[in-house]
């Protein structure tokens, strides 16, 4: 929807093929270097002293014993670090961030917040020194639930912001006439919904290494999705020009959105290295990834919708309250995106939405795959199922009737391109023979009558790019080297999705060279063009378009150079598979290598071009069809089979796209059934910050997934119509499971995770 | 107090001085300098540090380096049969998209090697059960299952 030009059609040679990923070769051999693998001469180890209280003022900190401990080289507290108020979420060009944090403050706002940092010659010594730091607290009353935090007289967690523990002013969206809509309704459904606190649990704990050189320049390795944002905020808070901060990230062990904050430990690592004039590594324990990492915002939703008896949706009134935890982080963005998303998915002309985001004395919630929309669409999609039940309609039929279509106004304010969701739904209904499936016995196994089976559908749409919240910019530099090979320089992070491979495919396709001849340079802010970061399902869409633009320019220049050498005009020749040839006489040709290399009177050369792309937004769509088995004796829900049908526009790398969908389903099953990072409501203390007590679906729990990707609605905003795919699956799977549970046992759940205890309790109540 | 310990890593004899509390994982990463084996939790929950000790899979974070005395340790770095050749599992992981962020991959490869060494024709259930101690958070496991089945077929076809 960014350009009005039609999408170019061509016979693809590289795009659409699952070429081998270079990064994976290094990963299967163990050679891939992650930040935690870095070991520098003289390197110290940093550790953070964490508060064992959720809300307090620090009366005093005595670090003398820690400093005297053999092997300790430096200790930092709020009295010795720069006091600069800064953003937690470092997105530039965005007004949606609240500056609400210091590197270290004299106040503690959540259990586990860092209050001091130590650098020592070993991790063990640094750890032991933490116990020697004596902190005296003046306890403050804490608030652990948004509804308590917004009460009059509730303890205030921050001095900044709009007040009343709000992270930002309420987000309000009004379309049409809500009163008129409800007046026209034949019936109204109203319900409250609640989402837990799932944690991304990427496999690589947060880690960084800081090293200063003699010119006072900081080199900083960190596992981040947003290296240029890290550079920007580090420079700002430490008072350095951007040329004095170099951020490096090669491989990273996952992020799922949550590695796009500027974390407290990152500042402290840099400052400890500065103080000691030695490199310092700081690596989270798994426990710290929970306590000091970022989780999804718990959310409470009130949803009231009016329907006509023919199934037409005529009014939607919705209030959402997101729990930000102790700091703003991505709270503003999540609230805006999650709230405005509810204008769409299912058509409704009369909409009134209000989203709030509230501080509590709990660990920080941040960006996580599905960014606020997981919560709002869970409610929308479940209530749509309820409406179908009320109408005596098949939910597939009701959803099909109401899903957004081409020309409808998307949450971004732009008309939607194509009928992606409708096509996904219809395809799934056909492939599964949904109507027959619905008529099947719910207890098909007479030997196991306690096992009940159910099927559910979940629908979603999600934007590629963070527009309009953030006006994004994607950059790429493409160099054709003197031997005809090609180098792509990109700032996009490689968090494991295969994005660099997709970008190289796009360059090779557009330029007309072999995929193997394109190398990708990334992960060094001193070298590659500026990048906004890998998030919002946008790397292929945003940076892919920028790379295509750069490739288009170098292609023209290569053709011009070859034309000069062949002594023909550039219009007479074409370039394909690394060869320049005369269109009229294909046998007269030269390789790109010959075109770029030296020949009599013409020295070898490089051709360099940049692409810069500032998109609006495109939407991808999905419908998930999910089968569950419920053991009515134990309450255990087993997801047996998922058929996810996705429209992602043009597919660049099919296996990588499928991998995103299957991984998103895994995380979404966890969110819906087993995963919840639990914070004690009386103390704010973490109760399950570890991988045994925080229960994720593993190999034994995974259903059969039959991924279907349709190129149903290519969008001219992305390269050859490509759109995002990273976040979509995690949004659709949740409601499909909740709806399947209802189909199996006739009980409607409005929250996640839906635990075996919930199932048994509901079955008991239903029986009674 | 450091102690000398000696064991083989991927067939090479290694001798090093370690603290009594040093895990095999830290010894491999910090003393031997093989960082392919990853630290995902350091408490035996995630399986990212799976290595083979005398042919048996072990969470290297739960074993002390001194316990490896005299034993044979195999890590992901020893999986390749030759400089330019990949183990069928490594190749299958590439072809099938079984590795995304790759942080769990070395541990899963070692566990899968053990699985196929013991059971050349694993059923789907065997594979699922075999990997039940290895957390992968990216792939949903689907492509990992595909890769292991594919490698098993290839190893069968090339077995003398």
Do the chains contact at B35 and A204, CB–CB below 8 Å?
Answer: no
Given a cut of 90, whether residue A62 has pLDDT beyond it is yes
Write out the two tokens for A316: 């939607």
**Domain made up of A35-140+205-252+259-291: CATH architecture:** Alpha-Beta Complex (3.90)
pTM for the full model?
0.97
Interface of B with A in 21-50 (CB under 8 A): 21, 29-30, 34-43, 45-46, 48
CA neighbor of A749 nearest in space, from A740, A738, A757, A760: A738
Query: ipTM of this model?
Result: 0.98
> Model confidence at A22, in pLDDT bands (50, 70, 90)?
confident
Helices (H) and strands (E) in chain A, counts: 19, 30
Mean pLDDT for A571-583 is 96
* pLDDT of amino acid A209: 98
List the beta bridge partners of residue A752: A195
Mean pLDDT of chain A: 96
Chain B's closest residue to A496, CA to CA, is B101
d(CA B49, CA B62): 9
Helices (H) and strands (E) in chain B, counts: 5, 5
d(CA A614, CA A599): 39
Given a cut of 70, whether residue A49 has pLDDT beyond it is yes
Mean pLDDT for A112-128 is 98
Mean pLDDT for A341-358 is 97
* pLDDT of amino acid A5: 58
> Model confidence at B1, in pLDDT bands (50, 70, 90)?
confident
Measure in Å the smallest separation between the Cα of B45 and chain A Cα atoms: 6
Write out the two tokens for B128: 């699922």
Determine the 3-state secondary structure of A324 from DSSP: strand
List the single best residue of A20, A699, A706 to mutate versus B (max B Cβ within 10 A): A699
Q: Tokens 């953070």, residue?
A: A48
Do the chains contact at B140 and A702, CB–CB below 8 Å?
Answer: yes
A33 vs B contacts (CB less than 8 Å): 35
Instruction: Given CATH 3.30.365.10, say whether it is the number of domain A22-32+473-613.
Output: yes
- Helix axis angle, A331-341 to A373-391, nearest 10°: 20
**Kind of pairing between the strands at B72-74 and B50-53:** antiparallel
Tell me what percent of chain B is helix, strand and coil, each rounded to the nearest 5. 40, 20, 40
d(CA A701, CA A447): 23
Chain B's closest residue to A694, CA to CA, is B45
Determine the 3-state secondary structure of A415 from DSSP: strand
Chain B's closest residue to A204, CA to CA, is B40
Determine the 3-state secondary structure of A420 from DSSP: helix
Q: A66-80, pLDDT tens digit by residue?
A: 999 999 999 999 999
* pLDDT of amino acid A2: 40
Considering only the beta carbons, identify the residue of B99, B132, B138 that sits closest to A28: B99
* pLDDT of amino acid A469: 83
A200 vs B contacts (CB less than 8 Å): 137
Q: How far is residue A198 from each of residues A677, A679, B80, measured CA to CA in Å?
A: 6, 12, 38
Determine the 3-state secondary structure of A376 from DSSP: helix
**Which domains, and CATH codes, for chain B?**
2-77 (3.10.20.30), 88-158 (1.10.150.120)
What residues contact B17, with CB distance under 8 A and at least 6 apart? B2, B3, B4, B5
> So where are chain A's domains?
22-32+473-613, 35-140+205-252+259-291, 299-468+616-767
* pLDDT of amino acid A7: 80
Reported CATH class of domain A299-468+616-767 = alpha beta
Q: Percent of chain A scored above 70 by pLDDT?
A: 98
Considering only the beta carbons, identify the residue of B40, B97, B109 that sits closest to A659: B97
Strands of the sheet containing A313-325, edge to edge, are A171-175, A351-359, A313-325, A299-307, A187-195, A751-752
Mean pLDDT for B25-52 is 98
Given a cut of 90, whether residue A88 has pLDDT beyond it is no
* pLDDT of amino acid A468: 86
A10 or A473: which carries more pLDDT confidence?
A473
> Model confidence at A92, in pLDDT bands (50, 70, 90)?
low
What's the burial of A509, exposed, middle or buried (CB within 10 Å: 0-12/13-18/19+)? buried
Measure in Å the smallest separation between the Cα of B150 and chain A Cα atoms: 15
* pLDDT of amino acid A119: 98
Under a CB-based contact definition with an 8 Å cutoff, are residues A189 and A313 in contact? Answer: no
Q: What angle do CA A623, A709, A422 make, to 5 degrees?
A: 40
Work out how many CB contacts closer than 8 A connect A with B.
177
Given a cut of 60, whether residue A513 has pLDDT beyond it is yes
Chain A's closest residue to B48, CA to CA, is A203
What sign for the dihedral angle of Cα A632, A634, A640, A646?
Answer: positive
Measure in Å the smallest separation between the Cα of A200 and chain B Cα atoms: 9
Under a CB-based contact definition with an 8 Å cutoff, are residues A382 and A375 in contact? Answer: no
* pLDDT of amino acid A3: 44
Do the chains contact at A203 and B38, CB–CB below 8 Å?
Answer: yes
List the single best residue of B84, B138, B145, B149 to mutate versus A (max A Cβ within 10 A): B138
Domains A35-140+205-252+259-291 and A299-468+616-767 alike in fold: no
Under a CB-based contact definition with an 8 Å cutoff, are residues A546 and A499 in contact? Answer: no
A21 vs B contacts (CB less than 8 Å): 94, 97
B38 vs A contacts (CB less than 8 Å): 34, 36, 203-204, 253
């Amino acid at each position: 929807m960014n350009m009005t030009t039609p999408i170019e059609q061509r016979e693809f040679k590289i795009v659409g093929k699952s070429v081998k990923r270079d990064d994976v070769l290094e990963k299967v051999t163990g050679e891939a270097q992650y930040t935690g693998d870095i070991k520098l001469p003289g390197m110290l180890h940093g550790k953070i002293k964490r508060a064992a209280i959720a809300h307090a003022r620090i009366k005093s900190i005595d670090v003398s014993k820690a400093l005297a401990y053999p092997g300790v080289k430096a200790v930092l507290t709020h009295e010795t670090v720069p006091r600069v108020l800064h953003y937690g979420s470092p997105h530039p060009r965005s007004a949606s961030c609240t500056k609400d944090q210091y590197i270290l403050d004299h106040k503690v706002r959540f259990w586990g917040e860092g209050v001091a940092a130590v650098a020592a010659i070993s991790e063990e010594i640094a750890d032991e020194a933490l116990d020697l730091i004596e902190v005296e607290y003046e306890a403050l009353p804490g608030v652990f639930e948004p509804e308590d935090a917004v009460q009059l007289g509730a303890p205030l967690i921050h001095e900044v912001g709009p007040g009343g523990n709000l992270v930002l002013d309420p987000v309000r969206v009004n379309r049409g006439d809500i009163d008129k809509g409800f007046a026209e309704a034949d019936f109204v459904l109203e319900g409250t919904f609640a989402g837990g606190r799932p944690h991304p649990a990427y496999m690589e704990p947060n880690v960084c290494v800081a090293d200063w050189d003699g010119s006072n320049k900081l080199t900083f390795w960190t596992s981040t999705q947003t290296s240029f944002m890290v550079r920007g905020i580090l420079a700002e808070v430490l008072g350095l020009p951007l040329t004095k901060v170099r951020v490096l990230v090669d491989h990273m062990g996952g992020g799922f959105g949550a590695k796009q904050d500027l974390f407290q430990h990152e500042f402290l690592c840099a400052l400890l290295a500065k103080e000691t004039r030695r490199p310092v590594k700081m690596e989270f324990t798994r426990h710290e990834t929970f306590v000091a990492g970022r989780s999804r915002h718990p959310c409470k939703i009130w949803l009231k919708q009016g329907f006509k008896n023919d199934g037409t949706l005529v009014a939607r009134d919705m209030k959402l309250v997101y729990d930000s935890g102790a700091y703003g982080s991505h709270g503003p963005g999540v609230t805006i995106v999650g709230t405005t998303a509810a204008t769409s998915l299912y058509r409704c002309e009369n909409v009134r939405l209000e989203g709030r985001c509230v501080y509590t004395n709990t660990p920080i919630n941040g960006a996580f795959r599905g960014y606020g929309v997981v919560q709002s669409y869970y409610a929308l999609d479940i209530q749509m199922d309820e409406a179908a039940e009320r109408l005596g309609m098949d939910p597939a039929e009701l959803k099909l009737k109401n899903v957004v279509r081409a020309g409808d106004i998307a949450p971004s304010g732009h008309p939607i391109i194509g009928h992606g969701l409708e096509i996904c739904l219809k395809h799934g209904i056909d492939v599964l023979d949904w109507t027959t499936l619905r008529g099947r016995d719910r207890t098909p196994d007479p030997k196991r009558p306690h096992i009940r089976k159910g099927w559910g559908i979940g629908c979603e749409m999600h934007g590629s790019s963070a527009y309009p919240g953030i006006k994004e910019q994607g950059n790429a530099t493409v160099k054709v080297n003197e031997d005809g090979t090609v180098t792509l320089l990109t700032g996009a992070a490689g968090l494991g999705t295969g994005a660099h491979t997709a970008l190289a495919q796009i360059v090779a396709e557009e330029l007309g060279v072999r995929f193997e001849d394109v190398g990708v340079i990334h992960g060094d802010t001193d070298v590659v063009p500026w990048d906004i970061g890998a998030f919002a399902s946008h790397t292929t869409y945003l940076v892919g378009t920028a790379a295509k633009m750069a490739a288009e320019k170098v292609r023209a220049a290569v053709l011009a150079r070859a034309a000069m050498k062949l002594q023909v005009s550039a219009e007479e020749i074409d370039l394909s598979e690394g060869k320049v040839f005369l269109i009229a006489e294909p046998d007269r040709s030269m390789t790109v290598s010959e075109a770029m290399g030296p020949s009599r009177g013409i020295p070898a050369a490089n051709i360099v071009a940049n692409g810069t792309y500032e998109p609006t937004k495109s939407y991808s769509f999905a419908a998930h069809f999910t089968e569950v088995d419920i053991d009515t004796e134990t309450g255990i829900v087993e997801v047996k089979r998922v058929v996810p049908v996705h429209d992602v526009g043009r597919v660049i790398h099919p296996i990588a796209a499928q991998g995103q969908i299957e991984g998103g389903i895994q995380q979404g099953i966890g969110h819906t059934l087993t995963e919840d990072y639990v914070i004690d409501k009386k103390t704010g203390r973490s109760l399950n910050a570890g991988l045994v007590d925080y229960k994720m679906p593993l190999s034994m729990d995974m259903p059969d997934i039959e991924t279907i990707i349709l190129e149903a609605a290519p969008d001219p905003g992305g390269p050859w119509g490509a759109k995002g795919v990273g976040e979509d699956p995690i949004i659709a799977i949740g409601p499909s499971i909740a709806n399947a549970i209802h189909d199996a046992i006739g009980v409607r759940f409005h929250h996640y995770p839906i635990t075996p205890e919930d199932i048994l309790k509901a079955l008991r109540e239903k029986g009674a | 107090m450091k102690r000398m310990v000696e064991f083989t890593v991927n067939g090479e004899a290694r001798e090093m001085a370690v603290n009594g509390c040093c895990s095999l994982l830290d010894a491999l990463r910090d003393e031997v300098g093989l960082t392919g084996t990853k630290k995902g939790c350091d408490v035996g929950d995630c399986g990212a540090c799976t290595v083979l000790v005398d042919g048996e899979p072990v969470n290297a974070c739960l074993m002390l380096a001194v316990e490896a005395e005299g034993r044979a340790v195999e890590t992901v770095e020893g999986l390749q049969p030759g400089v330019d050749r990949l183990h069928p599992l490594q190749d299958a992981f590439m072809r099938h998209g079984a590795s995304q962020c790759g942080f769990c991959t070395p541990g899963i490869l070692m566990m899968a090697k053990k699985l196929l060494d013991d059971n050349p024709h694993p059923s789907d259930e065997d594979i699922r059960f075999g990997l039940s101690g290895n957390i992968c958070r990216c792939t949903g496991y689907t492509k990992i299952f595909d890769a292991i089945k594919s490698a098993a077929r290839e190893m069968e076809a090339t077995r003398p």
